[in-house]
Every structure is written in structure tokens, then in C-alpha cells.
Amino acid sequence: MIELREAERKTLLAIQRLGGSTSVKQVINGTGLSDAAIMRATLVLKEKKLVQMQEERQTAIELNAEGKIHAKKGLPERRMLNALKQLGGKASVERVVAKADLEKSFIPIALGWIQRKKWAALDSKTNTLHTLEKTEHENDEKLLELLSEKGKITVEDLNKEFKEAAQVLKKRKLLNVEEKTNRILEITDTGKTALKKEKKAVEEVTQLTPELIITGKWRKLKLQEYNIEAPVAKTWSGKKHPYLQFLDEVRTKLVALGFKEMTGTFVETSFFNFDALYTPQGHPARELSSAYYVKSPKYGSVNMYKHALANVKKTHENGWKTESSGWGYKYSTQEAGRLILRSHTTCLSARTLLSRNLEIPGMYFSVGQCYRPEVLDKTHLIEFNQVEGIVVDKDLTLRDLLGVLQKFAIDIAGADRAKFVPDYFPFTEPSVELRAYKKGYGWIEFGGSGIFRPEVTLPLGIEVPVLAWGLGIDRLFMLKARIDDIRQIFSLDLDWLRRQEMI
């Protein structure tokens, strides 16, 4: 006969009384026991095959502040369409916007969605809108009205059309979304049989008290037995973000190898970000589409680097004493002071080579954030991290560089093997690209490396070889954690974060 404890018996009775299948919340309400006690009892009952537990993911949605505005006034595209109709079905965008009394921030949204829904067409030459035949209310508007009326709705209870509309409103950031897990308990045939045969449970105690001993009540009580192997409810202890753990691990390994860390500011002058790295002032990497320029102040001071600035200027214009012909253009010292958000951490290497504290031989590294106006996708971010490194010593060769890179890929990123592909960078020659392979994941590109050209080192006063590399450490982590979308690294998905093991 299966023996039941008091909490287990109460839980089984509650499930049976509630129709044989019910939620954990209803069981708690029906027994008066705490949720922790119910979960402990449920885990034991499940192990004894007296109950089954199923988990249902539920997503609750409600309108946020902006969503409530649109529920009251109408979506921006609907307000624009109504205004366009009032103007006879054809009018300039300016007149329609004025008529609709659209807030400035909603104008591009309205223009985009009114065309996407095929309610109106835009003539870009005349900047004129005209209505099309399709103008009926769509499911996103109907769902907006329903949410305004009901308040909070469970997505799983909606039909297919409204579920798709919910995704649209979610992408438009008009909803507050709350995801939760609903646990359903169902009594099994074995559980029903156990209840019929089970007598009233003897009261159990977890510890003897002076009162129980003095009164003799202990004779009628049963001491609770503990099964230290019994399953317990899953708990999520606090821990450092797995990616931050990885960055700490990389730093620790590099320091253990004898590297010293380089640090610097996110806002950098074009001199260190480009010029000192022999990147001409007309290079595509310096265009607005490739770098973020600071609006105010536009320029920083490079006066304290006058000697190096003069050398870099001559190198760009005619090659100076580097045995190069240079880039052959008129170098602008004003442009050298232009402030940007650093587009790579190689600027820290240039600063280090110019520093009075530089040691030769010496090994240096940095782990830092960089910024580029990239198109967001599974392999690119606007804000990303790089691990940068340089080794300064005489008689260094490309073979030394490849050895360092292979150690990175295999020992730090956990790759199975690495390979090197010839590449081009304005500041290194020869230049190689590092790629690594992991079984079950495939090949991934990490970044570039090479030996700094004399056009970089000589103007900064360095007369020995300098090995340099700049690798996407985000991608290193992707390989180690087996992630195929770089955006997942910075996800707010708690379920994913909880499941990540300590690296």
C-alpha cells in the first residue's frame, strides 16, 4: 500500500475534488497549504506516479502608454487615412499631416504603415498621397479595441488572426507582454486507487519539542522521514551573466600569459582611430555610413601629440622615411581632431605604442566596446566588443602571430581547429583573417590580424616589429556557447539565461 503524508494526501484530494485535473494555483486555494508545500508534495506524487504535471506557457498582453493613446485616437495610419479622405482622397503629405494633427514622432510611422497596408500610395516626386480601395479595419485595430475594453488578454486564448495581430502590435512596441508558466496537475488511476485505500494520515512532526515530550503526545505522533534523494523544486540562484563570465575568463587567461591590459575612452579622436593607423582621411571606413561622429563638440585636442602628428602627416602625404610613397594627398590636422565613437579597439594599440610606459619586449591586450552603424542581423551589432592585442619585440615573424591566434581560437574559444585566410588592412602587412571550426557548429569568422606596417610604427617611434590582432570576442563567445545569433548574447530572455551553465 502506498503511504501518503498529510500534504500529499491533501493535494491528491484537492485535485480529485476539482475534477481530477486542475492548476497548481487552484490546489493552493483549495488546501490552504503554501505553494512551496504543494510543489514538494507534487514532486513526490509525480515520482510515485500518482499525478501527472503538464506545463503550459501563457502570454498575457495589455496596452502600454503609447498603445492606449492609439486605442483612443486611432493608429497613426488610420488618422492619416481619415484626414486624406476628408481632403478628397488626394493631397500633399504636409496637408494630410496638418489635417490629421499627427505628432511629429508618428509621421514616419503613419507613412510607412499606410503604404504597407495598401490604404494609400505615395508619389515621391510630388510628395502626394492618394487613397486606394482597401481601407477597412484590420485585425490589429480590432485587437487594439478589444485590449482597450478588456485590459489584459491571454494570447493563447485568441484566434489565429488575433494572434498574428498581437505579434504586429508587439513589434510596434504598443504592448506590455508578460510570459508565465501555468502548471496543470492531473490525478492518475494509481492516484485514485491510493486515495481509496489510504486511511487518514497520521500527523507528522519534523522535530520534537519539550511540550511534546512532557505531555507524552509524542507517542501518538509520527516523526517525518526525510528522503535526501527526493527531487526538489527547481530554483534559480543568482549568477553573473554567462557572457561577462567569459570576458573575465579571457582576461584571466591573457594576464596569465603575461599580457598587460590597455584601457581607454569610448570617444576617440580620428588621429588615433584612423590616422595613426595609416588609414587615409578619404577612406570609406571614415564615412558617415561607417562611423559615428560626435555632434558636439566636433573636435578634440591633439596638441600634446605634436611630434607624432607631424610624423603621421608626412607619412600620409609622401611616405616620410618609411620607404613608402604615402597616400599622396594634403593631410588635414583639423580632421585629425575630429571626435568619433571608436569603431575598433586598435586605437588603444596606437595609444599604447606612443605611451612613455611602453615596454619592449612587451605584450598588451584590451577588451572593449566599439560602435559602427551596421545593419542589425544575426552576425552584426551596432555596439559590439573586440579583444585587441599587440606583441612588441625584435625578430617577430608571421609564424609567431599565427601561433597566438591559434591559441585564442582553440584554448579560449574552444574551437576544434583554426585556419588563416589572406586579407587586407591599411595598417598591417602581411594581413590574415582568423576563422575557427567547431563540430556541430561550423566555421565562423573572428576578425583580422597582421604585422603593423612601418607607416604605423615608425611615426610613433617604434623600430621593432609589432604583431597586432583585433577579434570579435562576441563571436568567440558564440562559438563557445553554440549560439548562432549574436543578438542572443544580449537577450533579456530569463529562461535562456537561467539555462546557461557556468563557463
Reported as a single tens digit per residue, the pLDDT across 143-155 is 999 999 988 888 8
Question: How far apart are alpha carbons 265 and 366 in whole angstroms?
Answer: 12
Which region holds residue 463: left if phi is over 0, alpha if psi is between -120 and 50, else beta? alpha
For 8-50, strand residue ranges (E) read 21-23
Q: 67: which strand partners?
A: none
Is residue 232 predicted with pLDDT exceeding 80?
Answer: no
Residue 110 lies in a domain: yes
Confidence of residue 233 (pLDDT cuts 50, 70, 90): low
Residue 481 lies in a domain: yes
Is residue 202 predicted with pLDDT exceeding 80?
Answer: no
- Co-location of 160 and 57 in the same domain: no
Residue 272 lies in a domain: no
Is residue 228 predicted with pLDDT exceeding 80?
Answer: no
CB 427 within 8 A of CB 280: no
Is residue 94 predicted with pLDDT exceeding 70?
Answer: yes
Determine the length of the chain. 503
Q: Would the pTM of this model clear 0.75, i.e. be above it? A: no
Collapsed DSSP state (helix, strand, coil) of residue 462: coil
pLDDT attached to residue 369: 93
**For the ranges 60-74, 175-189, 314-328, which has the lowest average pLDDT?**
175-189
CATH number for position 80: 1.10.10
The range of the structural domain enclosing residue 446 comes to 245-267+342-499
Which region holds residue 328: left if phi is over 0, alpha if psi is between -120 and 50, else beta? left
Is residue 412 predicted with pLDDT exceeding 90?
Answer: no
Residue 383 lies in a domain: yes
- Co-location of 50 and 144 in the same domain: no
Is residue 230 predicted with pLDDT exceeding 80?
Answer: no
Confidence of residue 12 (pLDDT cuts 50, 70, 90): confident
pLDDT attached to residue 441: 78
CB 343 within 8 A of CB 366: no
CB 355 within 8 A of CB 317: no
Confidence of residue 321 (pLDDT cuts 50, 70, 90): very high
Is residue 227 predicted with pLDDT exceeding 70?
Answer: no
Question: How far apart are alpha carbons 403 and 396 in whole angstroms?
Answer: 12
pLDDT attached to residue 201: 52
Q: 53: which strand partners?
A: 185
Confidence of residue 212 (pLDDT cuts 50, 70, 90): confident
Question: How far apart are alpha carbons 144 and 150 in whole angstroms?
Answer: 10
- Co-location of 55 and 69 in the same domain: no
CB 383 within 8 A of CB 341: no
Strands 175-187 and 267-269: unpaired
Taking only the tens place, the pLDDT of each residue in 271-303 is 999 999 999 999 988 888 889 999 999 999 999
Is residue 32 predicted with pLDDT exceeding 70?
Answer: yes
- Co-location of 158 and 75 in the same domain: yes
DSSP H/E element including 83: helix 76-86
- Co-location of 207 and 112 in the same domain: no
Average pLDDT over residues 346-352: 95
- Residue 191 sits at φ, ψ, to 5 deg, of -65, -40
Residue 143 lies in a domain: yes
Q: Cell numbers for 216, please give them.
A: 507524552
The structural domain count of the chain equals 3
